Chains A and B, each alone.
Chain A
Amino acid sequence: MVSPNTEISYDSKIEGDLVVSRLDAVINWIRTNSMWPMPMGLACCAIELMAVAAARFDIARFGAEVMRFSPRQADCMIVAGTVTYKMAPQVRRIYDQMPAPKWVIAMGACASTGGMYRSYAVLQGVDRIVPVDVYVSGCPPRPEALLDALIKLQAKVRREPAAQRLFKT
């Protein structure tokens, strides 16, 4: 015969190990520490992006080492390089294919502003077609600069009211 449980407080014999926290904090903790990048390597910045992923700088320390070449599995698009007008729609389409929540890092001068390419062929800043969260200066930026951008993005994500957005239609 099983007696009904009338206690409403926490019972460790029934529920096991438990940590009480805010939902925002939990969701953001998960998101910030497994931010899978979508490497939009379009020019020389992509070389620095590879260096960030390699052993010396090791972006895995920040949980962002899983470069996903499918936008469906990515959280953060790193636009590394010159975005030409010919390429711009594809960048936007890949961004559209990423599941929300999603973030964008504009890596380097070209992705941020068009850089030195004041030209008929080059999009003057990727923020004209996708919303950018963090801009990284440099031509190309040092790997440390990209790591700093990732840390800044994580700080930004930590401030987000994630729980509210979960139920927003």
Chain B
Amino acid sequence: MTATTDVATALTERFPQVTARPSLDWPAFNVPVGQLLDVLRHLRDKCAFDLLVDVTAIDWSAAQSPRFTVVWHLLSTVRHTYVRLATDCADDANPAMPSATGLWPGANWHEREAYDMFGISFSGHPDLRRILMWDGYPYFPLRKEFPLAGLETALPDPAVAEETGAKVKPAPYMGGPFVAAAGGSMDEAEPRAKDQSWTEHQEKPV
């Protein structure tokens, strides 16, 4: 561990292709896919970032390319600082990323969640299944084109679906979405229904 050295200089000296990323809090870096695992290992072994706090992803919407960015948050339990890494997925249609499970076993469930919500397949992951939604769910809910209310599909269990006739249906959104207003006083910013002109029985006015 280089005790007082700035992480930024330490990283960019070792990996010249790593560039700084705009960040409001902790140091953040853009990392090329090819060097990702080397950078993570370097941070873990040489810079004392020993704890992988989170692996998540960003969907910049279908109009953007690269569309998906995977983000890692590392914590140093020695220095008490965080560092954030971001890597773009090369393929917009079938995003893929090397898995960090070889470095931190804890990456297992984080990557499963990112796969479940964004459809990013982590190559080298030992058990890449959905973690929140059920196996066989046809969508990736946190992608930008997926509506918050959901899309109609079948229940996980065909026998129960047949017996009850129930389906996975979009949630009713009359009066919603319930969002907080930006700015203004605390009272005005309270999350509340923005549009109460439609109900379950009365269609949303176009």
Question: B-contacting residues of A (Cβ < 8 Å)?
Answer: 85-86, 88-89, 92-93, 96, 114, 117-124, 128-130
Contacts and interface: CB of A to CB of B under 8 A. Distances in A.
A124 B160 CA distance: 16
B146, B159, B177 interface centre (most CB from chain A within 10 Å): B159
A120 B133 CA distance: 10
A89 B172 CA distance: 21
Contacts of A85: 134, 155-156, 168
Nearest to A91: B160
A79 B186 CA distance: 36
Given A85-B156, A124-B171, 15 more contacts: A86-B133, A88-B155, A89-B156, A89-B161, A92-B164, A96-B163, A118-B148, A120-B139, A120-B146, A120-B148, A120-B151, A121-B141, A124-B172, A128-B166, A129-B166
Contacts of A96: 163
A92 B160 contact: yes
B150 interface: yes
A120 B156 contact: no
Contact of A88 (B151, B160, B170, B172): B160
Contact of A118 (B146, B155, B173): B173
Contacts of A89: 155-157, 159-161
B176 interface: yes
Nearest to B134: A86
B133, B155, B178 interface centre (most CB from chain A within 10 Å): B155
* Contact residues of A: prevailing secondary structure: loop
B160 A120 contact: no
Interface of B: 132-134, 139, 141, 146-151, 155-157, 159-161, 163-164, 166, 168-173, 176-178
Nearest to B154: A85
B166 A118 contact: no
A61 to B, nearest CB: 35
A116 B107 CA distance: 31
B79 to A, nearest CB: 37
Nearest to A119: B171
Nearest to A93: B160
A128 B167 CA distance: 9
Contacts of B149: 118-120
25 contacts: A86-B132, A86-B133, A88-B156, A88-B160, A88-B166, A89-B155, A89-B156, A89-B157, A89-B159, A89-B160, A89-B161, A92-B164, A96-B163, A114-B171, A118-B148, A118-B176, A118-B177, A118-B178, A120-B168, A120-B170, A122-B171, A124-B169, A124-B171, A129-B166, A130-B164
A123 B169 CA distance: 8
Contacts of B150: 119-121
B156 A86 contact: yes
Contact of B141 (A92, A114, A118, A120): A120
